[in-house]
Amino acid sequence: MTDSPIRVGVLGARGRMGATVVQAVEGAADLKLVAALDAGDDFAPLADAQVVVDFTHPDAVMDNLRHLIAHGLHAVVGTTGFSEERLAEVRSLLAEKPGLGVLIAPNFALGAVLAMRFAGQAARFYASAEIIELHHNRKADAPSGTASHTARMIGEARAAAGLEPGPDATTSEVDGARGARVADVPVHSVRLPGLVAHEEILFGGEGETLTIRHDSLDRTSFMPGVLLGVRSVVSRPGLTVGLENVLDL
């Protein structure tokens, strides 16, 4: 006997990512697209879904998640802009809904997830770490969710290893020249037409540097991870942050 397909709704369906997710869901035999909605649409069709994928906007995603959790819908969220406070609210909403799962991942591309993991592993061996993230110029947020997540992973590894702040002789600086600080890691954001999503994680130590680079050249790069998220969230109750946890990395 064949299992019935997982019924999927998409929020942000007319956007760059949402439209790509709609195509990917339509192309997957074990998934069925039941709603493809965007800003201003009536959310009523979501009632037919089991899992809803959200690629909208940092200003919209929390209201969407409140709606989805209140209506008992599993969620796979790629939208960025999640602070610790936002994650805490999602956890507390889910505490009232046993069995319901939410997966929030700043990046669904396999190579980006691996790059973050490798960066976390390398961090304790180097005195200094900096991140350069490069994106298309339509992106709303800076730094990227991926760069912030990477910086936090590096920061945790550095703190666990008892590393001091990286040596830096800068005494005079034009505002922003040394980047933004996330978990005390300098993060530099580049926005250019022509780019999709790219990240370089640079480590510096005694007489050497290590650069880990990932490039998403097309939005299809995110789709295997999104579909994996949809298939796994139905049996992952509670909040999961980061695809690395689904991949058991």
Ligand X SMILES: O=C(O)C1=N[C@H](C(=O)O)C[C@H](O)C1
Cα-based distances in Å from 181 to 14, 98, 130, 211, 240: 33, 37, 9, 19, 25
> Has 139 been annotated as catalytic?
yes
CB of 14 or CB of 91, closer to ligand NAI? 14
CB-CB contact of 18 with 76 (8 Å)? no
Would you call 135 a catalytic residue per the annotation? yes
CA–CA distance from 69 to each of 26, 149, 191, 203, 227 (Å)?
24, 24, 34, 40, 20
230 binds ligand X (CB under 6 A): no
Minimum separation from the CB atom of position 7 to ligand X (A) = 26
Q: Is 107 annotated as a binding residue?
A: yes
79 binds, among ligand NAI, ligand X, none (CB under 5 to 8 A by kind): ligand NAI
Is 184 flagged in the annotation as binding? no
Q: Is 216 exposed, middle or buried (0-12, 13-18, 19+ CB in 10 A)?
A: buried
Residues with Cβ < 8 Å from 241, sequence gap 6 or more? 82, 87, 104, 105
Q: Least CB distance from residue 195 to ligand X, whole Å?
A: 9
79 counts as binding ligand X under rule CB under 6 A: no
Residues in the site for ligand NAI, rule: CB under 6 A? Answer: 11-12, 14-18, 37-39, 55-58, 60, 64, 78-80, 105-108, 145, 222
Contact of residue 57 among ligand NAI, ligand X, none (CB under 5-8 Å per partner type): ligand NAI
106 binds ligand X (CB under 6 A): yes
Which residues bind to ligand X, rule: CB under 6 A? 80, 106-107, 135, 139, 144-146, 197
| Catalytic residue IDs | 135, 139
